[in-house]
Structures are given as C-alpha cells and as structure tokens.
Amino acid sequence: MPEYETLVWELEDGVATIAFNRPEAANALTMQMGEELMDASIRCDDDPDVRCVVLTGTGRMFCAGADLKALPPAGPGMATEIKVLTTYLHAAISRFARMEAPLICAINGTAAGAGFSLALIGDLALAAESARFTMAYSKIALTPDGSSTYFLPRMIGLRRSLELSMTNRMLSAAEALEWGMLNRVVPDDELQGAAAGLAAQLAAGPTSTIGAAKRLYHASFNDTLESQMETETRAITDAARRPEAVEGLAAFMEKREPKFHG
C-alpha cells in the first residue's frame, strides 16, 4: 500500500478511497499533494483490483484550491511553480477520467478554486448538505485550471459557467444539484456511507464495460453522429467478446444476479 503524507489511501473490496488530508490547511493543494495525487491516479488506473474510486476530503473542507502560502509571490516565480503543480494535477485528472474504474466525488465541504475543479471530475458526484462551491479565481486575478473549463460548461452550460467564473458566486449544494453539477445531496453525516454504498455497487459491476462507456460519453462531444455511432458499434462488439458479457447474459437468462468479480 502506498504511504502518502498529504492523502489518505485505502483499498478494500475493490474500492480505492482517496482523501485530501491537510485539514489544518483546508486541504489546500501543495506541490507534494499534486505529485501524490498523480501517483494515486496512476495506481488506480493500473491496478486491476481497483474497480471503483472515491475522492473526498478529511475534516470540514473538500479542497480550498492551491495553497497560496506555499507559492512564491505573483510574478515569474509563481508562474513556474503553477506550471509544475498543474502538470501533476492535470496528469492526475486525465488518469482519473480515462481509467476504467468509475470515480465518485464525495464532496464533504467547501470546494474552491482547484478544489471546485476537482469536485467536477467524478463520473458521479455526491455532496453533503453543507458543501459550498466557488471558483474564486478571478478574485485573485487568475484563470481557472484543473479541468473546470472543460467539465463545467458541459454540465451547466456556457452562460452559467461564465457567471461562476466572473462573479465568484458561491453555490450551495442544493443549487449545484439543481444546476446539474451533482447527482445527489445527502445530510452531512450520511455522505461517506452513501458514497461507500454507491462505490460497492459499482465495484461489483463490469469494470471494463463501465470504462468503455466512459470513453464513449467523453468522445461524444467531439464526434459527429455517424462517427459516434460507429464507435458505439465497435465498443459494444468488443464488449460482447468479453467474459463480463458472457456472465451478464448468463445471469439474465438464469434470472440471478451476475457475479463479475471474484
């Protein structure tokens, strides 16, 4: 098992749980956290025992974005440090998005800046009722990073995305749900249990098929109708060849629950 200083890592029954673990600093991102998050994402992508991933935070915050106190003052020094940090962060996000295992974001508290961006990267997202969301970049004259300019307009549309970016409006969990950023809002003390239950359900599913479906949905924003349908045909025929499909169809015919793992 990896030993991280800024993250909590657990792997049990096919579910990898990754928690930002700097609660004394609002789980703000440092260079070390970025590097460890990238390492964790690669482990999730490469380890066949990982069939679902939960991303959350310890303490009262999900993630407050970059730790500005750990960066040099604005200028060339800060620019270079941000370039390195985003290299780690963006590599992690790319791995999480492309891996076969589904990713659940369990947003336990405020998500700001890059933390806002990270709250968007899950295939599914649950939030505690007390969670809040703000982009916060323009307040310090910086532009968004961490993939939010990719995921956010796809979820809520261009005008709302620009509003959040330009005004730094604080969204409640209920508003984020209404706008399409979340799948579900639960009471604070039920969040981790709800995430664990959903993760167990997904971990018991056909992981390679879930991964193929993820790739289809991501490709759909860039493909024409005809090319997307051809990609669908290739994906479903590939899926039909796999042992997961053999088990799934056998279970259907036998009127029992499929057993995809173990």
Is 218 tagged catalytic? Answer: no
Is 90 tagged catalytic? Answer: yes
For residues 36 and 89, is the Cβ–Cβ distance under 8 A?
A: no
Residue 89's nearest CA partner among 56, 112, 115 is 115
Residue 168 backbone class (left: φ over 0; alpha: ψ -120 to 50; beta: rest): left
Rounded CA separation 54/37 (Å): 13
Residues in CB range of 201: below 8 A, 6 or more apart: none
The active-site residue out of 90, 188, 223, 261 is 90
* Torsion (CA) 4, 32, 173, 141 in degrees, nearest 10: 180
Rounded CA separation 219/30 (Å): 32
The active-site residue out of 45, 67, 123, 145 is 145
For residues 46 and 211, is the Cβ–Cβ distance under 8 A?
A: no
246-to-205, 257, 260 alpha-carbon distances in Å: 13, 13, 10
Report the catalytic residues: 90, 145
